[in-house]
Every structure is written in structure tokens, then in C-alpha cells.
A = this chain, B = another copy of it.
């Protein structure tokens, strides 16, 4: 029945009605909540669209999207990186798509550990249909914002994204 995912309502108690705390505290938390809410709403709609119009799922679509733009195929590990999920996950999704004939695993003659995953002709055909619809959904979903607002949002998120990426190197300290 619910239409979207977790809201992470973690506004930390104690400040129900009469907020004595510095309001700046709340700001970040509420911003996070709103960000999450928007993303989930949109993701949920895209998911539903893919389900009802094409009887497929978002990770399947995502995997095919990666392959579409890599005519020479991708290794499982490359798919894993680009989809930002673990390798084991890619194995499962690829299994499913292969069973449906939308994708093939070809062994790499140069390195027999590697599978080169490619879209089949059928897979490509199906993806193209899905991609067109998908794009129109997304355009509609962002119809609330003017081009100028879109640019603003893009810039703000860009700054946030870059900052988050920066945190990676500092706290995680990637070893050579």
C-alpha cells in the first residue's frame, strides 16, 4: 500500500513542539529528510513505471543501461563499479537477465576469469523502448522546476556531492 520507501524520521525526540535547541541543528536533519523523501518518491514512481509498463525492475534496467553505452560489453566487476553495488549482486541480476535472453555472458579469451557481458539484440530492442519511456517519466517528474531552478538544484547538489566524495579520501584513507 505505501508508495515510497523509508523516511528515516530521526528527528531526535526531545524537541517536539517547543524547540529550545539551536535551530541550525534541525535544519540539516530536515534537509536530509526532505532529500530522502524526494528521491524515494521519484525512485518509487520510476520503479512502478518499469514494473507496470515493462514488467521489469530498476536494477535490471540499470544494468542494461550500463551495457547499452558499452557496445564491447562490460566485465562483471565493471558493472559492479558502475552500478555501485557489490559483485554478488551483479551476479544475481545478470543471471536473471541472461535467463530471459536479454543479456549474454561471453568468456574473454585473453583472461578466462573474466566474463564479458553484452546486450543481445532482443535486449537492445527492449532497452530502447524502456529508455524512451523512462526519460519522459523523469522529465515529467521534474516538471515542477523551471530550467533556472533545475540549474540551481544541480549546482547545490554538485557541491554537496563533491564534498561527500572528498570525505571519502580523508576518513577512509585509501591505501596504494
The docked-state distance in angstroms from the alpha carbon of A8 to that of B81 is 12
Report A16 CB to chain B, min CB distance, Å: 7
Chain A: number of interface residues, binned into ranges? 35 or more
Question: In the complex, which of the residues A39, A42, A161 has the most CB atoms of chain B within 10 Å of its own CB atom?
Answer: A39
For residue A54, give the distance in angstroms from its CB to the closest CB of chain B. 13
Establish whether residues A12 and B134, one from each chain, have CB atoms under 8 Å apart when the complex forms: yes
The residue that A145 contacts in the complex, of B149, B150, B159, with Cβ under 8 A, is: B159
Contacts of A141 in B (CB 8 A): 28, 32, 164, 167
Residues of B contacting A11 with CB < 8 Å? 65, 69
Q: Evaluate contact between A31 and B154: CB separation under 8 angstroms.
A: yes
Residues of B within 8 A of A121 (CB): none
Verify A16–B69 contact, CB threshold 8 A: yes
Query: Cβ of A58 < 8 Å from any Cβ of B?
Result: yes
A2-B80, A38-B164, A84-B3 are known contacts. Are A8 and B65 too (CB-CB below 8 A)? yes
A158 at the binding interface (Cβ < 8 Å): yes
Contact A128 B6 (CB under 8 A): no
Can you name 15 A-B pairs with beta carbons within 8 Å?
A: A2-B80, A2-B85, A6-B85, A7-B62, A9-B66, A10-B62, A28-B141, A31-B150, A35-B39, A35-B153, A38-B164, A45-B164, A45-B167, A142-B160, A144-B160
